[in-house]
Structure 1
Amino acid sequence: MKSIVVSAALLAVAGMAFAEPSCNVPKEKWMPEAQFKKQVEEQGYKIKTFKVNKGNCYEVYGEKDGKKVEHWFSPDTGAQVTK
């Protein structure tokens, strides 16, 4: 019985580690995709992949300062958000 409880707890923690952030912003307030991409590129990002995640945040895969990145941004301000 203890092993079942421990296993369930570990699965819950693992699920939280892979959870993406949520951005609760009405779509009518979202920055246009082209404007957002320009803003992020001006900050030094090289965008390989851009998408909207399940939590309605802009998600960028690419590079910054020579390092691979996966970052989420608020679609209205372009500010980076964390998990």
Structure 2
Amino acid sequence: MRRLLLASALLACTAPAFAKTECTTTDRSTWQDPDQFQAKLVADGYRINKFKITEGNCYEIYGFDREGRKVEIYHDPVSGKAVKTEIED
């Protein structure tokens, strides 16, 4: 029983670390075209290695920014605005 309580407490403490990034709840018909969205990022100087649509309804890219830094960016697919950015120097 003690182990079960300890395991439950540990899981409760780590749960926020696994929270997904939510970008939008709007219907997909309102989203920007994924190919055009990526083309705009490339035109702006980004190099995209991987593009995906997340469970939280984000356009997520892995690649490099204009300065050549490795990035992971979650974008709102409606506005195109970056919602969460992780940069590795």
Match of 2:21 in 1: 21
Match 1:71 to one of 64, 70, 73? 73
Q: Secondary structure at the match of 1:36?
A: helix
What is the identity, as a one-letter code, of the residue corresponding to 2:26? V
**Shift of residue 11 of structure 1?**
4.0
Q: 1:17 to 1:43 in 2, by over 3 A?
A: farther
Q: Is the 8 A contact 1:25 1:75 kept in 2?
A: no
Gaps of 5+ in 2: none
CA RMSD, 1 decimal: 2.4
**Shift of residue 38 of structure 1?**
1.3
Q: How many residues align?
A: 83
Q: Is the 8 A contact 1:59 1:72 kept in 2?
A: yes
**Shift of residue 69 of structure 1?**
0.6
Higher relative contact order (CA 8 A, sep 6+): 1
Pair 1:81 & 2:74 matched: no
Deviates more, 1:16-25 or 1:32-41: 16-25
Q: How does 1:1-83 map to 2 (within 5 A)?
A: 11-22=11-22, 23-64=24-65, 65-82=67-84
Find the aligned partners of 2:78 and 2:15 in 1 and give their Cα distance: 27
Q: Extract structure 1 runs of 4+ deviating beyond 6 A.
A: 4-7
TM-score, normalization: structure 2? 0.72
Q: Secondary structure at the match of 2:42?
A: helix
